[in-house]
Structure 1
Amino acid sequence: MKKSFLPAVVLSLTILAGCGNTDNSAHQTNNEHGESHAGHSAGTEQHSSDQGYLNAAFTFPAGSATANNETELSVQITDQKGVPVNDFEVNHEKLLHLIIVNHDLSYFSHIHPDFKGEGRFSINTQFPAGGDYKLFADFKPAGGSSTTLSEWVKIEGEPAAHTDLKADTKLVKEVGDKEVELAVSNTFAKEETILTFHLRDARTKAGIDNLEPYLGAVGHVVILSEDASQYLHVHPLDEKATGPEAQFATTFPQAGIYKIWGQFQHRGEVITVPYVVEVKER
């Protein structure tokens, strides 16, 4: 069920244990391939972690958020007794990764709120249009498992037109002066899939072999199902790779349409490359 922020109401979630740049359509469990975090249905999610149940409250201190206006967004992490969680492990150079998408996945943002103490993270951000957005807080409590907490929120303002998500017929995208091609080893649910990104100069087609570390790795991949109920955050097989290829291993939990965002850094610029694939049952 989708929920809205209300000034006097705190939206709480419980954790998915072991499971967590804008994109204008161009521009948990641990395994040997890194972390592939699988999300579940939207709304309240109740899963236990090594430390018991954890909760997240996503709030706007001003009471609400309006499209195209900078607003403070707060994420409060507490344990099952409501006590703030203060010890977090650095996970890919950050204490918390916040992923934001809109209702049709045409908008994507990967940002990093600052830790303010007493379990609270805060960041100023903007939403490009009114409507429904899903927030994913991806973090690792000290001594615990990688954790993702999520919730739908309502942003005030004129909503953007809905765009149906359709599988790409060609997995080649241009972002600025770069061409990025995605090869998918298979598109069957519940089977290991290797995602191979080939990065090259869009004009010369020469491979780019000097990618810079982005959050401590050659790249990061976030995958969401069409309804944003299934979430995967995938780390590379070889974190120290520099291109022109970057490989990631994951498993799609069920059949359906998925959107994939690959993120890489080159010459100080982070690029986000989106793809849409259809996953089937074998």
Structure 2
Amino acid sequence: MDYSKHNHHNGHHAKSAVKTSVSYDNGKILIKVEDNIGTPPVLAAQHEKEMHFIIVSNDLEKYYHLHPTKEQPGFYVANKDLSEGTYQAFVDIEPENKAYQVTPNTLQVGTNETSKTNLEGMDNWTKERDGKTVTLGDVDATVGEEVQLVFDTHGEKLNLHLGALGHVVIIDEDVEQYIHVHPAADDITTFIAHFTDPGMYKVWAEFKFGDNVHVYPFIIEVKE
């Protein structure tokens, strides 16, 4: 399977016919999905799940990839204790026969607000998590061109994670642009991303070693 055909991003070219709303109540995240007349859309499964739910703090320090449970059509619940602060939640779905663009849902937990951040340009391209090391090759990112993200797992064997060798989520420093990409082929850890706007972006690369999924954050710059 060519996973590159399943990339999702919130481009500026299509009007969404599906809207989402997100709320938080004492350790439960509640997600509502409906079309423009209030009807729950039918969601196609993508990478083993009907919904991939990404939530990040406004300062891009906290990152969670959750898979909410469908309580009833159009209504999903995820269990997650969130500390006080401001978050942006992205509902990654594929409604059948309806246009949809992923846009941020602001979620305020408690009263302490989290400011957005300015990402710095210099980053360490090798990161370690629980003894597993991943290196991101040099990135040459330009608006409108295919951007290759090539990850080296240093010979460590990867297990499939939600039907792929890895998942990569990319969000800009304004926490507005959302890009979710999968490997360009089913036996490599090269990902192809497309950007519509220049600026600084944070990348979270998810890889599964053994039974554990490790998340590796990187900062990249996309040029005009």
Q: Do Structure 1 and Structure 2 share a fold, with TM-score over 0.5?
A: yes
Measure the CA separation in 2 of the matches of 1:148 and 1:231: 7
Q: Does the residue aligned with 2:160 lie in a helix, a strand or coil?
A: coil
Q: Does the residue aligned with 1:140 lie in a helix, a strand or coil?
A: coil
CA displacement 1:134-173 (0-9 Å, x = unmatched): 0000011234466524311211054568764212343111
* Corresponding residue of 2:19: 55
Q: Does the residue aligned with 1:254 lie in a helix, a strand or coil?
A: coil
CA displacement 1:10-68 (0-9 Å, x = unmatched): xxxxxxxxxxxxxxxxxxxxx98223323269xxxx9535xxx11112123x4xxxxxx
- Shift of the 216–32 alpha-carbon distance from structure 1 to 2, 3 Å rule, reads closer
* Corresponding residue of 1:103: 58
CA displacement 1:205-249 (0-9 Å, x = unmatched): xx11x210001000000001111111100111112x2xxx51000
Output the aligned Cα RMSD.
Answer: 2.4
* Corresponding residue of 1:78: 34
Q: Highest Rg: 1 or 2?
A: 1
- Shift of the 115–211 alpha-carbon distance from structure 1 to 2, 3 Å rule, reads same
Q: Number of aligned residue pairs: give it.
A: 223
Q: Pairwise mapping of residues 14-53 of structure 1 onto structure 2 (< 5 A)?
A: 33-39=4-10, 47-48=14-15, 53=17
Which of 226, 247, 257 lines up with 2:190 in the alignment? Answer: 247
Aligned residue type for 1:101: V
* Corresponding residue of 2:172: 225
* Corresponding residue of 1:270: 213
Percent sequence identity is 30
Aligned residue type for 1:262: A
Q: Does the residue aligned with 1:33 lie in a helix, a strand or coil?
A: helix
Q: Say whether the 8 Å CA contact 2:14–2:101 is kept in structure 1.
A: no
Structure 1 unaligned blocks of 5 or more = 1-30, 63-69, 201-206
> What TM-score results when the alignment is normalised by the length of structure 1?
0.72
> What TM-score results when the alignment is normalised by the length of structure 2?
0.89
Structure 2 unaligned blocks of 5 or more = none
Q: Pairwise mapping of residues 106-255 of structure 1 onto structure 2 (< 5 A)?
A: 106-128=61-83, 130-144=84-98, 147-158=101-112, 164-200=118-154, 207-208=155-156, 210-239=157-186, 241=187, 246-255=189-198
Aligned residue type for 1:273: Y
